[in-house]
A and B are shown apart, each in its own frame.
Chain A
Amino acid sequence: MEVNDALIDKLANLAKLKFEDAEKEEIKKDLQKMIGFVEKLNELDLEGAEPLLHMSDEVNVLREDEVKGSISREDALKNAPVHDEQFFKVPKVIKK
């Protein structure tokens, strides 16, 4: 897989991140290495192998429909960078 500027731009856009040109060059190199490493797997013959969906063999781990485990609003908001007593706050996502 070829790692080019277009791919970096697309990924950056999907991740809502912005990079300087110099940073892009770095990322391009790293990403190329990573993809090369994973592409090694393509050499395996996987004909007939089902995709692994989960690391355990457990299926049907269901819970009953019961209300429990919520935390207080104070605790919920504690780690948010911006908040008031009621809400999490983020930059305006709608233009007026």
Chain B
Amino acid sequence: MKKEYSEYETVIGLEVHAQLLTKSKLFCGDSTAFGLEANTSVGPVTLAHPGTLLKMNRKAVELAIRMGLACHCEIVKENYFVRKNYFYPDLPKGYQVSQHSTPICRGGYIKIKTGPGEKRILLNRIHLEEDAGKSLHDIDSENTCIDYNRAGTPLIEIVTEPGICSSDEAFQFLTELRKLVRYLEVCDGNMEEGSLRCDANISVRKKGETKLGTKVEVKNLNSIRNVKRAIEFEEQRLVNCLENKEIIIQQTRSFDAGTGKTFSIREKEDAEDYRYFPEPDLTPFHLSDEFISRVGSEIPVLQDKRIEKYTTQWQLSGYDAEVLTEERDFADYFEATIKYTSYYKPAANWMLGPVKSWLNENKSEIKSFPLKPDQFASLIELTETGKVSFSIASAKIFPLILKDGSKSPLQVAEENNLLQESDVSSLKPIVDEVLNKFADKVKEYKKGKRGLLALFVGEIMKKTKGKADPAVVNQLILEKLKSE
């Protein structure tokens, strides 16, 4: 890093739009499903036909409150919507219905991990609003084509305070935020499909300066990594401007993921005038304490609480606990499994080993994992009680019961003759046979080449097709060699 960069600090605020996981739109019953044919999920309200009236989706209000409570926000009880007036063709009414002076959630924070420790990123607000339609510029050479399916989809906008100090912190914040919306089932968190979108407000200033520098806003950031890259590009550009005594213009920029650079899309000459006023077509709404506490009672146990439980109550490592709880469904499955077995660590190993690889190979999710937690637990019990070795269980029994879940792991092991042989009377003859065959090696062993033990064990495992219990085999060989 050049010397001059270290004299500056970056100040970042993020605005994140998250599409709520409702079935229908914010103010009318059109579907919010992704990937429908253009303009097939529209109705008179979405298209802003005269005389239509809006009616608020209860579920959207609940999801916004759920997010607010999980972020430690104050829930604003007296709410109303306003019209934010501007002209753009993807906005059929000529205004966006949004919340201005009464955001449904105020304040709050999201915790992130940084080098020195935990940091709280403070939120300014979370408010409800409707999404716009989609403009397609390259279908037709003469016109812009508009698809209004997305218009009216419920969004929450999460606005942070300008308290993010680096691209790494922004990366951490978005990672935590995405995990949180998925845990809460507020939003699917898919940035490529645009259900989670992020704009970054960035400014730089000399260290020690208390006034904020002129900010630029970067849009079109479709992955967490690109948010980080855009911030890194922009902070350098802004410092270079200041070092060259150039004036920074307040502007909106876009990020080109191909080149890693940002470019200006419009300059904010005068402050935009949105002429906000209360939406007369929508009744105000009042949130009662009962309503808020009912929503609160539906919030699932979040990751940090789970990690605490996993490491203390079940004695798992911090790493295991973290990976197991990364996704709520995965953690739920683990917790369901250990209701049937108290082999916590082996259960964690199975989840992070064979289960995760199977899900990856099949591009599948734990929700559609074919094994029931009780079946899965009995497979774990099978190896932990020494009936089957882990390698046989994971390589042979696991795939078989995944294909046909009607039989128990024990049945599958029996039918396929996979049970571990720990019966001394049946193993003894095999041990004798092998040691006789390798009589010369036995002599060498007795002279002191102790490493040959592994060879004998290996031969016996071969003969038993891996089914012999290695502990018993070891014991038998040692006894036999001693007695001779």
Q: Contact residues of A with B, CB < 8 Å?
A: 10, 14-16, 51, 53-56, 58-71, 73, 76-77, 82, 86-94, 96
Contacts and interface: CB of A to CB of B under 8 A. Distances in A.
Contacts of B61: 62
Give 7 nearest A-B pairs by CB, closest first.
A65-B59, A87-B145, A89-B143, A68-B29, A69-B29, A62-B58, A90-B89
B146 A89 contact: yes
Contacts of A55: 280
Q: How large is the interface on B (under 10, 10 to 19, 20 to 34, 35 or more residues)?
A: 35 or more
A67 B89 contact: no
Most buried by A among B39, B80, B136, B275: B39
A62 B55 contact: yes
B23 interface: yes
A46 B87 CA distance: 33
A71 B43 contact: yes
B87 A16 contact: yes
Contacts of A10: 273
Interface stretch (B228-236, B281-289, B471-479): B281-289
Contacts of B86: 14
B56 A70 contact: no
Contacts of B389: none
A54 B280 contact: yes
A10 to B, nearest CB: 8
B144 A90 contact: yes
Contact of A93 (B89, B273, B275): B89
B44 A92 contact: no
Interface of B: 22-24, 28-31, 37-45, 47, 55-61, 80, 85-89, 135-137, 139-140, 142-148, 273, 275, 278, 280, 282-286
Given A76-B47, A94-B137, A65 B146 contact: no
Provide the main secondary structure of the chain A interface. Answer: loop
Nearest to B286: A59
A89 B140 contact: yes
A69 B172 CA distance: 41
Provide the main secondary structure of the chain B interface. Answer: loop
A88 B148 contact: yes
A65 B88 CA distance: 28
Contact of A71 (B24, B44, B284): B44
Contact of B37 (A51, A62, A69, A73): A73
A78 to B, nearest CB: 10
B275 A14 contact: yes
Given A61-B283, A68-B29, A88-B146, 9 more contacts: A54-B282, A62-B57, A66-B23, A69-B44, A76-B39, A88-B89, A88-B145, A89-B144, A89-B145
A74 to B, nearest CB: 10
A55 to B, nearest CB: 7
B89 A64 contact: no
B57 A53 contact: no
Contact of A67 (B30, B39, B80, B285): B30
Contacts of A64: 58-59
B98 to A, nearest CB: 15
B143 A67 contact: no
A67 B30 CA distance: 6
A73 B369 CA distance: 38
B145 A69 contact: no
B133 to A, nearest CB: 9
A92 B144 contact: yes
A53 B30 contact: no
A87 B139 contact: yes
